[in-house]
Amino acid sequence: MILTILRILFLRLRNNPLELVLVFVMPVVFFSIFAGIFSKGIATGSDKKLRVGWIAAHETALSLGLRAFLEKNSTLQCSSLIVKPSLADLEDEAEEESVAEIEIEATIAEAQRAGRYDLIIRLPNDFPSQLVDSQDSTPCAVQLVTDGQNPMAVAMVTSVVRGFFAQKKAEVTAEQMMSLSLAAQPSSGYGSPREPNESQYFDPAKNPSQFFGDDPDSRFIVTNLDGVNSVNGVSNVPKEWAIAPPQAELTTEELLETALADTTESENDEAVSISVENPQAATQENPRIAMYAAGIAVLFLLFSSTGNAAALLEEAESGTLDRILVSQAGLFHIVTGKWLGILLLGCLQITVMFVWAELVFRIQLAKHIVGFCIMTFSTAAATASFAMLLATLCKSRAQLNAVSVVIILSMSAVGGSMIPRFAMSDRMKEIGRWTFNAWALDGYQKIFWFQSPLTSLQNEVAVLLGSSLVLGVLTLLFSGRWKRG
Amino acid sequence: MTESSATTVSPVLTLQNVRKTYRGREALKGISLELRPGELLGFFGPNGAGKTTMIRCISGLLKPDSGKIIRHPFDHGDDDDQNNDEPIRLGLVPQNLAVYPDLTVQQNLEVFGRLEGVSGKALKHRINEVLEWAALKDRTQSLTKTLSGGMQRRLNIACSVLHDPDILLLDEPTVGVDPQSRERIYEMMQQLTADGAAVLLTTHQLEEVETRCDRIVVMDHGTIVADGTLSELVSRTIGQPHRVILRFDRPCSKPLAAFAFDEPRTTATCSLASMKELPQVLSVLKQLDQEPSRIDVRSYGLQDVFLELTGRSLRE
């Protein structure tokens, strides 16, 4: 008897291809999506680089060195921000500086809104041309401008910047010490002239720490940016050779740990003073919560929309649709009425989610109400059309359930409803652009995170409403099958 | 509806040589028929005969490949206006329960009434009438899914008559209902025809068609194989509507007037045009020197006609 019951189970499974897909193919699909995101999409993989913006009022040798150092780092993708000139009239120098400041801030704000960078490095006007190692010297000021989305970005870039300055500082120190050493031992041993035998200069038999103090790490920071090599175990090291900065070879996790360690030791590091600024922080309150609300809302909106659209299939199966089609309501009325209903329910669903988020987490909904309404309407319209098209293409409710689960979960995984988009690689982000989730989340992000003007939503609104229109027209075209039987 | 009036009243629906290929199969192969006001037309045929396709064509859900379906403008005579012809009003009762199970009876009637263009006081008034007509007055606030099968079927029909249709198409309206509900459903249909509506129903219930329908159409393989009243069908297909069969234990040697014997002469058969002829026919038994072991008197019905026309092979 048990075997018979078992046999029934397997026979039914075998006779239902959709169920087979759900049981066997779905887990593989989702595994692949998440494996793709986590192996290559998250910042730990080779595919993902932190996008670092670079803005320096005046480039100096030191700033160019820092820039070159950042560009050599395999975890960073560094590019310059082009400051857009202001249209304001400049009357005097003071005002000129003020305008320049405004222009830079506007450029940074625009870049952040566009989501082009994970972090922006900003160097002040008085950034020095070289590092001076003296008791009286003030540390070089480096400002990191973040939008707060990617908390790892600050830690990683801080680590790399500190690495650069530590290296430069050691280089300066080494040069000073070598000068002293050469002066103390003019005729033999390490102090002998470099020419012609370089090996005499860096004799591996003798510990370089004799030159550079007891700190064993000092051996590694005797470096020149022109080359990479290590002093350790190498018998013939020209002075011009240098070691690669150890940070460049670290993994993301190691970089993060180093950054955290550096942060705690920052008081002892006087070569650089790194400040972190988040322009949105002053006016933001729980923007991350708003993003979570949007992510979850869009995911469930897709499910509820397809669930409501499935009523069309139920009506077709029961004959109710035939009865309605025979009545004074035509196919256009039916499709439009259903679409409108799904749209209104979707708007209500997202609103409930955000009202709750406002009540509990204070996401400043009232302040962004217009942008919220625009994005909510656009998102609900797109999902309504998507759901209606799916329902029109599927032959039965069971088929719709299976297909919608696969598509919606895939879209949500890639589109940012499950994993933050900032953590994805550019490739994954591009793929995400084919989902409603990504466009909707980008729009909500602009509203609640960047507090962008409404005009900045034009791309998101255009894509969502355009998709809604196209899918709606396709729904009307394909819905003709209800009349054809 | 009397036979004479059926021929004099102009039809509300005419099908002329309608053909339709549906899902790769020629479902209708030139159907022609007329439906008149006040007529209850029973469509009878085996599964896959094309009945549902024909109903979908008449209701406009399917477009015929060729032929014509004409819904004649109907004079409702509601006012004295000379030009009071208006498009035919059609109602469809699908085979399944085409109502919303999670709405109440009242709510279902309201939404389907609105979809048919009835609203306001007229809808309210009509709903009350229909609730009375369908014997659902005491269940107006019940959710449809909580009703019995018979009640749900009645509601299914009620939702299609709110706009007072001129033609009502019913696809298997009595499937799965108890005899009392079936009786009520036919009473409802007879009230509709009495009010002038033309009703076309498809069914597998032979007895219903025989006893309830004014006219019977037998359909097979996409064609109409017979059309008329039951007696007309019987006379056309079988001949006399009654038959007397005498069975003997041993071959009967004497000839019997009006009876035909089979070869071993153990069975004699006589057809009757009317039951009134039965005493006269049976009087021949007095001439026999041997008694028949069994006497069967049988009246032919739609099943005989149907099997005669469509054969005994199994269908879909």
Provide, as residue numbers in chain B, all residues whose Cβ is less than 8 Å from the Cβ of A327.
Answer: 112, 115-117
In a domain, B39, yes or no: yes
CA–CA separation, B280 and B289 (whole Å): 18
Does residue B96 sit at the A interface (CB-CB below 8 Å)? yes
Lowest mean pLDDT of A43-52, A424-433, B286-295, name the range: A43-52
Pairing mode, strands A140-146 and A272-277: parallel
A196 upstream amide cis, omega within 30 of 0: yes
- How would you classify residue B276: left for phi > 0, otherwise alpha for psi between -120 and 50, otherwise beta? alpha
Share of chain B above pLDDT 70, in %: 92
pLDDT in the model for residue B87: 76
Closest CB to B90 among A318, A326, A483? A326
Per the structure, how many domains does chain B have?
A: 2
DSSP label of A89: P
Domain extent for B51: 3-236
Closest CB to B115 among A317, A324, A485? A324
How large is the average pLDDT for residues A267-292? 69
Closest CB to A326 among B23, B92, B96? B92
Q: Looking at the predicted structure, is the pLDDT value of residue B86 above 80?
A: no
Burial class (CB in 10 A: 0-12, 13-18, 19+), B179: exposed
pLDDT in the model for residue A51: 85
Where among B236, B268, B289 does a domain terminate?
B236
Residue of chain B minimizing CA distance to A334:
B115
How many CB contacts within 8 angstroms connect chain A with chain B? Answer: 52
In a domain, B316, yes or no: no
Q: What is the least distance, in Å, from the CA of B91 to any CA of chain A?
A: 7
Q: Tell me, yes or no, whether B172 and B268 share the same domain.
A: no
CA–CA separation, B161 and B91 (whole Å): 6
Q: Tell me, yes or no, whether B51 and B148 share the same domain.
A: yes
Task: Spell out a b/e string for A434-450, using b for 16 or more CB atoms within 10 Å of the CB, else e.
Answer: ebbbbbbbbbbbbbbbb
Q: What is the least distance, in Å, from the CA of B153 to any CA of chain A?
A: 13
Q: Looking at the predicted structure, is the pLDDT value of residue B78 above 60?
A: no
User: Among B64, B86, B63, B65, which residue's Cα sits nearest to residue B12?
Assistant: B86
pLDDT in the model for residue B40: 92
Q: Name the phi and psi angles at B100, rounded to 5.
A: -90, 110
Where among B186, B203, B236 does a domain terminate?
B236
In a domain, B34, yes or no: yes
Q: What is the least distance, in Å, from the CA of B117 to any CA of chain A?
A: 7
Q: Which residues, including other chains, have CB under 8 Å from residue B309's CB and lie 6 or more apart?
A: B218, B220, B225, B226, B237
Share of chain A above pLDDT 90, in %: 18
Where among B193, B216, B236 does a domain terminate?
B236
Q: Tell me, yes or no, whether B41 and B69 share the same domain.
A: yes
For residue B156, CA distances in Å to B90, B99, B150, B162, B172 come to 15, 6, 10, 11, 11
Residue of chain B minimizing CA distance to A484:
B62
DSSP annotation string for B16-37: EEEEEEETTEEEEEEEEEEE-T
Does residue B87 sit at the A interface (CB-CB below 8 Å)? no
Q: What count of other Cβ atoms lies within 10 Å of the Cβ of residue A418?
A: 18
B157-200 pLDDT per residue, tens = 999 999 989 999 998 888 878 888 888 888 888 889 998 899 99
Q: Tell me, yes or no, whether B206 and B256 share the same domain.
A: no
Provide, as residue numbers in chain A, all residues whose Cβ is less than 8 Å from the Cβ of B59.
Answer: 322, 326
In a domain, B127, yes or no: yes
Q: Tell me, yes or no, whether B34 and B166 share the same domain.
A: yes
Q: Tell me, yes or no, whether B232 and B256 share the same domain.
A: no
B110-168 pLDDT per residue, tens = 999 999 999 899 999 999 999 998 989 999 999 999 999 889 999 999 999 999 899 99
Q: What is the least distance, in Å, from the CA of A468 to any CA of chain B?
A: 27
Provide, as residue numbers in chain B, all residues whose Cβ is less than 8 Å from the Cβ of A328.
Answer: 115-117
Helical packing angle, B149-158 and B105-115, nearest 10°? 20
Task: Report the greatest alpha carbon distance in chain B.
Answer: 80
In a domain, B313, yes or no: no
Q: Tell me, yes or no, whether B203 and B282 share the same domain.
A: no
Lowest mean pLDDT of A88-97, A170-179, A319-328, name the range: A88-97
Q: Tell me, yes or no, whether B162 and B15 share the same domain.
A: yes
CA–CA separation, A231 and A170 (whole Å): 14
Lowest mean pLDDT of A144-153, A359-368, B91-100, name the range: A144-153
How large is the average pLDDT for residues A162-176? 81
Residue of chain A minimizing CA distance to B171:
A319
How large is the average pLDDT for residues B62-70? 90
Contact A326 B22 (CB under 8 A): no
For residue B8, CA distances in Å to A397, B2, B5, B229 come to 49, 10, 5, 16
pLDDT in the model for residue A136: 60
Q: Tell me, yes or no, whether B11 and B160 share the same domain.
A: yes
pLDDT in the model for residue A186: 46
Distance linking the first and last C-alpha atoms of chain B: 34
In a domain, B305, yes or no: no
Provide, as residue numbers in chain A, all residues whose Cβ is less than 8 Å from the Cβ of B97.
Answer: 318-319
Q: What count of other Cβ atoms lies within 10 Å of the Cβ of residue B304?
A: 18
CATH of the domain at B282: 3.30.70
| Residue B159 or A236, more confident | B159
Best to test chain B binding among A312, A324, A325, A326 (most B CBs inside 10 Å): A326
Q: Tell me, yes or no, whether B50 and B178 share the same domain.
A: yes
Does residue B20 sit at the A interface (CB-CB below 8 Å)? no
Q: Tell me, yes or no, whether B228 and B290 share the same domain.
A: no
Contact B94 A483 (CB under 8 A): no
pLDDT in the model for residue A25: 79
CA–CA separation, B29 and A477 (whole Å): 29
How large is the average pLDDT for residues B10-36? 89
A222 band by pLDDT with thresholds 50, 70 and 90 = very low
A223 band by pLDDT with thresholds 50, 70 and 90 = very low
pLDDT in the model for residue A188: 42
In a domain, B304, yes or no: no
CATH of the domain at B49: 3.40.50.300
Q: Tell me, yes or no, whether B138 and B228 share the same domain.
A: yes
A257 band by pLDDT with thresholds 50, 70 and 90 = low
pLDDT winner (highest mean) among A11-20, A77-86, A200-209, B8-17? B8-17
Best to test chain B binding among A327, A328, A333 (most B CBs inside 10 Å): A327
